[in-house]
Amino acid sequence: DFTEAIPAFLTIIMMPLTYSIAEGIVFGMISYIALKTITGKYKEVSPLMYILGFLFILKFIIG
């Protein structure tokens, strides 16, 4: 399932590119939420993930 493979790949790639494990995980989480929502599988994502994704996007915009 590419909606789980692509976020995993992005997480692995972004960790060394951003020099931060946390930033890599955030990129993977945001891409997971985005892909599940775009493909119509939004019910597979918990409400807590949506809240965390929104907060992480705000973190990127503000900081």
Looking at residue 59, what is its pLDDT?
Answer: 93
Q: Would you say residue 39 has pLDDT above 90?
A: yes
Q: Reply yes or no on whether the pLDDT at 63 is more than 90.
A: no
Task: Locate the DSSP E strands across the chain.
Answer: none
Average the pLDDT over 43-50 and give the result: 96
The alpha carbon dihedral of 1, 12, 23, 21 has a sign of positive
Q: Average pLDDT, stretch 36-59?
A: 96
Q: Tokens representing 58?
A: 């705000």
Residue 46: half-sphere exposure toward Cβ, Cα within 13 Å: 4
Q: Which stretches within the chain are classed as H helix? A: 2-18, 21-38, 47-62
- Residues 4-38 have pLDDT tens digits of 999 999 999 999 999 999 999 999 999 999 999 99
Residue 3 to residue 17: CA distance in whole angstroms: 22
